[in-house]
Copies of this chain bind each other. A is one copy, B any other.
Amino acid sequence: MTPAPATRLDTARIRAARQVIDPVFLGSPQYRCEALEAALGCAVSIKLETANPVRSFKGRGTELVAALLGEDGPRAAVCASAGNLGQALAWSGRGRGLDVTVVASRFAPAAKLDRIRALDARLELVDGDFDMARERAAAIARQDGVRLVEDSLDIETCEGAATIGLELLDTAPAFDAVLVALGGGAMATGVGHVLRTLAPEVEMICVQPSGAPAMTRSWHRRRVVTTESADTIADGVAGRRPIPDVLDDLLLVADDAVLVEEASIIAGMRLLLDRAGLVVEPSAALGVAAVLEDRDRFAGRHVVTIVCGGNVDMDAYHRWIGAAPGR
């Protein structure tokens, strides 16, 4: 076996995490989706992270965070969120009687904000983007002395997501490549760490929107590159300021990082709806979009795409799907 990459993550801890995370987030569906294959020109398996109480993979990480806080922490936490982390932290915190504050952009999808409120978290909106929400969350943590949960930086968020990687390798059918949505990097470094450690032959490809390319550019240049703005419908991955420690890990585990156009993301969402019956948020269609943009690369291979979230405003969703070409 190749030695484990020297990331901040630990394979034994990731295995142990499966005993801590509520089973409702574990063992998510994983299946060949032949109905997609004619359109994509390769064998496609789906890892579906939307069929749980928060409709995204983020519960895997927040369960770890909340379990630790419930043990000996301050019993209060604050996080910045594009919407999915906040929802998941609210869910995990509620079950353990923790006091959760979520800071989000007021431009985040209403569906995500509504669900955070419904889960009894305190929601504070900032008049800016996700990176402004991060600053505000940090200020609240300092001021109130509560735990700041930083997505992708906090190891629990990465190791929680990494349990997806263990599950990918639990079942038999071998695959050649895994397509992972890239935002802050928790899922990419988590799944990547597991693949690099236990299945180094599998290609691990990160996918980010062209409109929010900071982490992908950073990966290619091997140093943090920030952007002035982010412009994409994939709100879940629209960060501008990569975290240096996370980039370091990503450099150790990713084989490639690619950018895709908005039109491809929409085409991917439409394919997932029409052929696979799946309602997904834009971030969850990044893998399909990557295949659509580079069929030759994947022709005849078996790819797994992690469908990482399904929290969309339905009005926007219908607008995207309906406006897409071919309809």
Give me the interface of A with B, judged by CB distance under 8 Å: 23-24, 27-35, 48, 50-53, 55, 115, 118-119, 171, 273-274, 277-279, 310-312, 314
* Contact assessment for A34 and B118 in the assembled complex, using a CB-CB cutoff below 8 Å: yes
- Contact residue among B52, B278, B314 (Cβ-Cβ distance under 8 Å from A31): B52
Least distance between A296 CB and chain B CB atoms (Å): 24
B contact residues around A48 at 8 Å (CB):
51
Tell me the nearest residue of chain B to A27, going by C-beta.
Answer: B27
Q: Which residues of B contact A277 (CB under 8 A)?
A: 50, 55, 279, 310-312
- Within 8 Å CB of A53, what residues of B? 31-34
Contacts of A52 in B (CB 8 A): 29, 31
**Minimum distance in angstroms from A9 CB to a CB of chain B:** 26
Query: How many copies, total?
Result: 2
Q: How far is the CA of A216 from the CA of B51 in the complex (A)?
A: 31
Residues of B within 8 A of A274 (CB): 314
- Chain B residues with CB under 8 A of A278: 279
B24 touches A51 (CB 8 A): no
Please measure, in the bound complex, the distance between the C-alpha atom of A115 and the C-alpha atom of B276, giving whole angstroms: 11
Give the distance to chain B from A149, nearest Cβ to Cβ, in Å: 22
Contact of A35 among B35, B50, B115 (CB under 8 A): B115
| Residue contact A23 to B171, C-beta cutoff 8 Å | yes
Complex CA gap A316/B68 in Å reads 48
| Bound Cα distance A272, B279 (Å) | 11
The 4 closest A-B pairs by CB, nearest first: A29-B51, A277-B310, A277-B279, A31-B53
Give Cα A174–Cα B112 distance, bound, in whole angstroms: 28
Cβ-closest chain B residue relative to A26: B27
Residue among A28, A29, A115, A278 facing the most chain B CB atoms (10 A cut-off) = A29
Residues of B within 8 A of A30 (CB): 24
From B29, B118, B119, B279, give the contact of A279 (CB < 8 A): B279
Distance in Å from the Cβ of A56 to the closest Cβ of chain B? 11
Q: List 16 A-B contacts (CB under 8 A).
A: A27-B27, A29-B29, A29-B51, A29-B52, A31-B52, A34-B118, A35-B115, A35-B118, A55-B277, A273-B279, A274-B314, A277-B279, A277-B310, A277-B311, A277-B312, A278-B279
CB-CB under 8 A from A311, the residues of chain B are: 277
